Structure 1
Amino acid sequence: MTLENKTVIVTGSSRGIGKAIALAFAKAGANIVLNGRKPIPTELVEEVQAYGVKVHTILGDMSDFESAKRLIEETKEVFGSVDVLVNNAGITNDKLLMRMSEEDFDQTIAVNLKGTFNTIRHATKVMLKQRSGTIINLSSVVGLVGNVGQANYAASKAGVVGLTKSAARELAARGITVNAIAPGFIETEMTDVLADKMKEQAVGQIPLKRFGQVEDVARAAVFLSENNYITGQVINIDGGMVMNG
């Protein structure tokens, strides 16, 4: 589908990958709904508007069912449609299993997995009536292969893959596509704080021998929204780190 004047929601879009995705869709001509738990920086709103598109901000924690409902309903009221939903909002709370509290586990699942369910649950009501729509969920290569100290995060992101595939099967008959993107090591504020030795070890696992850029993920999101014959897939943006047979 062409993205000109379409409505795109990007959750967790105030920085990093979410910000890059919002800007990429704005560049393609889509109207953007920015979302975060804290106020969206004015500079980002202006950066999106510079592409000549409309921007609306809606604050809310997507792990809350009613907040997710308000995100979708307000978007529909403001723009008249919900054409693309990008579920990017997520958290990490890394600890080894023996030190991980119940709260560490529950909170990560609530934001990363339940939050994705919440927005899909409400968006499908609009998209089913439209008989069209694109849902893109951010998973992670960690959800595919696991990682030490990230049992909660890996479980949440593996859950996103199962949710994606199930939703894709349910919604395909109404022309709605549902896919996931699984980033590997992407240069963000989260990777900036890693020690040099950890960065070297990470690069050693990547066949392309470098971290990815947020724009690499953003381009994949735009591609998936423009191709309505791809659904139920997980696209790895990881420099070859995970190669599924």
Structure 2
Amino acid sequence: MATLTGKKALVLGGSRGIGAAIVERLAADGAETTFTYGGSAEAAQALADKTGAKTVQADSADRVAVGKVIADRGALDILVVNAGVGVLGPALELDPKAVDRMIDINVRGPYHAAVDAARQMHDGGRIVIIGSVNGDRMPFPGGAAYALTKSAVQGMVRGLARDFGDRGITVNSVQPGPVNTDLNPEDGPMKELMHSFMAIKRHAQPEEIAGMVAYLVGPEAAIVTGAQHSIDGGFGA
């Protein structure tokens, strides 16, 4: 069913993995979809050819560049912020510049993108930020900085939901656990450790994350806002 026909959507970070699955789902549901990419030009073009979506190159750490992309799209109905990075390792050994860039992409980027989009968004619009179950639980060492950014998303979502609620704009976070992507393959070296924390001991597929996003941006979720939606096989249970 083309539940999003007539809606204009922008996905920040959409060329690979979860982002690509979200682009595919939004386009399949009828939305006029644009997505940004960083360095994966070939993958972005292939996805655009497959879905009919439009592509725009933008560094998700560059607030001005992302703001221009949003402004150029005009009044959006849907914004999905998928762009994110993970910097893991002992806190005493991590490169501070790498941590700062992660904060730029995972925290500052989604906040400013949401605010910029809301300025010109249609009433009743939808904003979804892809967070992580690590915002709730970090069960192994080396993830403090990453977990910090994903916990920040939770507070951001709660606050912006109240700021935009009088216009019917919903703001939600989707919190995946382990997902089968290039960066975290289901047969990778972290498989056994991650699955040991889960009730359903497998990685999610990107299409499953996209399905939850599709619900949140669809017509049935108009009252769902300010919430964290975990899809993690019980990782955080």
Q: Which category describes the TM-score, using the shorter chain as reference length?
A: over 0.9
Task: Find out whether 1:236 has 2:212 as its counterpart.
Answer: no
Match of 2:157 among 151, 164, 174: 164
Instruction: Specify the alignment match of 1:52 in structure 2.
Output: none
Q: 1:166, 1:222 → 2: CA distance?
A: 22
The answer on 1:94 being equivalent to 2:88 is yes
- Tell me by how many angstroms 1:188 deviates: 0.6
In the superposition, the TM-score normalised over structure 2's length comes to: 0.92
Change in Cα spacing, 1:193 to 1:219, as seen in structure 2 (3 Å) is: closer
Matching residue of 1:42? 45
Q: How many pairs were matched up?
A: 231
The 10-residue stretch of structure 1 (1-10 or 114-123) with the greater mean CA deviation from structure 2? 1-10
Alignment of 1:196-211 (within 5 A): 196=189, 198-211=190-203
Runs (5+) with no aligned partner, structure 1 = 50-54
Alpha-carbon spacing, 1:6–1:200, altered in 2? closer, same or farther (3 Å): same
How much does 1:195 deviate? 4.3
Displacement after TM superposition at 1:187 (Å): 0.6
Q: Give the stretch that moved more between structures: 219-228 or 201-210.
A: 201-210
In the alignment, which residue of structure 2 is the partner of 1:174? 167
Give yes or no for contact 1:104–1:152 (8 Å, CA) kept in 2. no
Provide the rounded CA distance (Å) in 2 between the counterparts of 1:34 and 1:98: 36
* Corresponding residue to 1:66 among 64, 71, 78: 64
CA contact (8 A) 1:61 1:67 kept: yes
Q: Secondary structure at the match of 1:4?
A: coil
Once superposed, what is the RMSD of the aligned Cα atoms?
1.6
Q: Deviations over 1:150-183 (max 9, x none)?
A: 2221111111111011000110011100000000
Structure 1 or 2: larger helix share? 1
Give the 4+ runs in structure 1 shifted more than 3 A: 193-196
Corresponding residue number in structure 1 for 2:142: 149
**3-state SS of 1:229 partner:** coil
Deviations 1:195-239 (A, max 9, x none): 44x312211211011111101100000000111110001000101
Q: Which amino acid aligns with 1:202?
A: M
